Structure 1
């Protein structure tokens, strides 16, 4: 009889390009998203949650860095239909609006937060699943809607802790770039593929530099890993026109607009774009958003092909140190723009829309680098167990603490080793441990152990100071909640 081959155990490892998020990380993200949602809500936007799965047909061809709809997504076939995990929040919004447009107000203003998935090559800090936080207005053709999104983005950054002066929202218009492409000889349906490559090349200016972009405008570029990216095939003169557009920013907004007028020449679409930039600048200035917060910058193009008008990007301007110890600007944390043709795919009618997407992980990393995020977060009060037979009494303590809004738990491991209970409390980042055995129950008291103070004493105090200061003391059983609250309030006020 053949020996049955033993089934190997599965590997306990995260799939490539994915990661796990633990308690403190999830808490920090949740707190930040709540602040963002508060700003969006104040601006009149409603929350929307869409399915994580869409049909590939609904997602369309507008995928990042690829030209075919079956690339860049996690997709599978089911009942003759191809389904895929959403790669952003915008394509699902277009489907939702087309499906429910008769029941939704016009304009429809919504925000959405959640994970998205991209089947791309992972790298340092680049994951296949990540969080996005979007806000969009559907059904408003006026660039006043674009100006409002930019203003809301600036207010959002300040609300989460990015100080004024540490960020700038940069604004451009895709119509201006289309005008420049006309001048460069890239107009017409037969040049659509080349225009797409040009857009994605310009969008990588910060990462690749001028020479890297020039290579992508020409025959192509090989990266450090040896992978080759096909270029747009432009000649030197054509590439010079495009690069000239990227270098059009001047000291002031009016000077930049004047330079853009020169670059678009007689192009009708280019002229429309310049006029829209002027209108947005006037609206933002009237709202108190000067160039120190929101500015016109022709280098902003956004790589996705569905943008049709204004585009914008939020850049953090403060310096951080990269993995090699070199100083650099933190860079972009949000971007968006107008996409008037996206809903048309479903309805056959032009439906104007504009919106912005915040890279949640990027913004969290920025706040962390600025010291705007608290440490690991305060854990629960831990009620230790000295006597298994008194478990009901320990549960009563926890219930009292919880009823007063204090996070608390009873130690549910093996209580035999009391040191392990305190070690557990340290691992949970607990501020307080409550201790009570037979003597305490008989006397109607509990022991309060201030773990935060204990850590400070152990770290900083001399032996004499250690003897003078104590972080464990006795209180009456009925004073348990009040004493714990006093400790938590003290540390909360200290930040």
Structure 2
């Protein structure tokens, strides 16, 4: 009788899901340092930190994402036995609206908060476009003043400069959804008496305008009309506007003039028949005055609409103006790293009361990429001092050394991998360790210890030609055991660590 063939269990594939990525030590450290500088600016303006749940009810999040063709309207959602549908948050603003509505009796009004954390979107991933990414937000809830919008814009500029972006390398572009609504009213796709009518078409129009940088005017024209087919053959349905209607929208997008006053004049002509449109133009003029008074680099730009559907007034984006090379080696402008605006109806969904709000969100990964492209990430963080293991039965002694170094404010670890000295020093090099500590039986008997400057040794190695040169180089030295902390600290300081 033939033996039955036993199937081996299938091993799971060791790979990240499509649209997600892993972050390693230097990236996490760089992010933390950059966020510390940004949030310090927020803190200086009187904003308080807030941490809210990564999971919200789908009802609380609302239907505001622009990618409405995806399942669950762009969110990662699942059904819970007790609470209905839950989802991972798609940004940090919708959860803030829920938090303020829930705790408004205990919070100051206006409430000024900043928040940092990952968000998730169930959207089609692509080069540089991930389904999980980090945001850093600052919002003022409870102020209807346009001065609050202008303050957010000015603070955003300071935050970018604190992160390492020079003033000449960024521009804050400002528009107003009220102006866009006025244009849509003139174009015949918004009826003030019935705001819900044609809501889907208006969403397509806004998304089309938001893609001007990617598709150009002709691509936007196609999206305003019947639709657009991309290079892969995928077809995106358009808004179905007629030529005259599309011409009004395209005229709005092309209204930017040589200065803010001239742009507002053009916009006033475009929306002359719309009360809400004229109100939006007046708000733009006020914001421009505030930002000009503080010397902020800002322009009025009608092409800024922001993709999310909850904005109700001023909207703005921070655009980096320097050039980088894309994946095909072509020069292109880096583009947007932050955006936000006014969302006066978001809290109202919960309370039924009018609660104005405005805020900004920084794309953390985008800003880190920009700093890296400009060479402004600072020096690469060094690894820990490594205490090598010469005698396995003396592990307690080596742990005591590492503990002394840590007590002295020096990052340190004992090598735990096993192996000879070559393997241990190779590990230390891979960790970018500044110093290795070596103590064998001979050093132990004499009350001494060897410390090796790994960074200096690597620099000198290229110039060493003879055995005498190697003996003379100062990358390794013997010191008294009692001077371990002092001498290691001095060696790190000499290396600039």
How many pairs were matched up?
A: 489
Match of 2:63, SS? coil
Which residue number corresponds to residue 483 of structure 2? Answer: 479
Which residue number corresponds to residue 217 of structure 1? Answer: 224
Distance 1:187 1:90 in 2: 26
Distance 1:369 1:462 in 2: 37
Structure 1 residue 392: Cα displacement: 2.1
Distance 2:107 2:487 in 1: 52
Distance 1:472 1:465 in 2: 13
Structure 1 residue 164: Cα displacement: 1.1
Structural mapping, 1:39-188, within 5 Å: 39-66=41-68, 70-79=72-81, 81-188=84-191
In structure 1, which of residues 256, 267, 279 is the aligned counterpart of residue 263 of structure 2? 256
In structure 2, which of residues 375, 392, 395 is the aligned counterpart of residue 391 of structure 1? 395
Distance 1:411 1:174 in 2: 59
Structure 1 residue 111: Cα displacement: 0.8
1:55-77 Cα shifts (integer Å, max 9, x gaps)? 11111111132168822111111
Match of 1:333, SS? strand
- 1:68–1:22 distance in 2 versus 1, CA, 3 Å: closer
Structural mapping, 1:410-449, within 5 Å: 410-414=414-418, 416-449=419-452
Structure 1 residue 5: Cα displacement: 4.3
Indicate whether 1:322 and 2:330 are aligned: no
Assess if the C-alpha contact under 8 Å between 2:185 and 2:274 holds in 1: yes
Distance 2:184 2:340 in 1: 21
In structure 1, which of residues 346, 349, 353 is the aligned counterpart of residue 353 of structure 2? 349
Match of 1:190, SS? coil
- 1:134–1:438 distance in 2 versus 1, CA, 3 Å: same
Which residue number corresponds to residue 281 of structure 1? Answer: 288
Q: What CA RMSD, in Å, does the superposition of the two structures yield over aligned residues? A: 1.7
What TM-score, normalized to structure 2? Answer: 0.95
Distance 1:273 1:461 in 2: 71
1:421-455 Cα shifts (integer Å, max 9, x gaps)? 00110111101101111111122221111110111
Distance 1:266 1:226 in 2: 40
Q: Structure 1 stretch 464-473 or stretch 165-174: which is displaced more?
A: 464-473
In structure 1, which of residues 202, 207, 222 is the aligned counterpart of residue 214 of structure 2? 207
1:333-361 Cα shifts (integer Å, max 9, x gaps)? 00000011111111112210111111111
Q: Structure 1 stretch 388-397 or stretch 426-435: which is displaced more?
A: 388-397
- 1:462–1:244 distance in 2 versus 1, CA, 3 Å: farther
Assess if the C-alpha contact under 8 Å between 1:167 and 1:315 holds in 2: yes
Distance 1:336 1:46 in 2: 18
Indicate whether 1:267 and 2:274 are aligned: yes
Distance 2:144 2:122 in 1: 33
Distance 2:8 2:407 in 1: 51
Match of 2:65, SS? coil
Which residue number corresponds to residue 339 of structure 1? Answer: 343
- 1:281–1:69 distance in 2 versus 1, CA, 3 Å: farther
Which residue number corresponds to residue 12 of structure 1? Answer: 14
Assess if the C-alpha contact under 8 Å between 2:70 and 2:123 holds in 1: no
Match of 2:265, SS? helix
Structure 1 residue 195: Cα displacement: 1.0
Where in structure 1 are there 5+ consecutive unaligned residues? none
In structure 1, which of residues 454, 458, 479 is the aligned counterpart of residue 457 of structure 2? 454
- 1:156–1:462 distance in 2 versus 1, CA, 3 Å: farther
Which residue number corresponds to residue 24 of structure 2? Answer: 22
Structure 1 residue 459: Cα displacement: 4.0
In structure 2, which of residues 32, 35, 57 is the aligned counterpart of residue 33 of structure 1? 35
Distance 2:182 2:368 in 1: 37
Structure 1 residue 185: Cα displacement: 1.3
Distance 1:146 1:126 in 2: 28
Which residue number corresponds to residue 381 of structure 1? Answer: 385
Structure 1 residue 306: Cα displacement: 0.9
Q: Structure 1 stretch 335-344 or stretch 61-70: which is displaced more?
A: 61-70
Distance 1:121 1:339 in 2: 26
Assess if the C-alpha contact under 8 Å between 1:60 and 1:69 holds in 2: no
Where in structure 2 are there 5+ consecutive unaligned residues? none
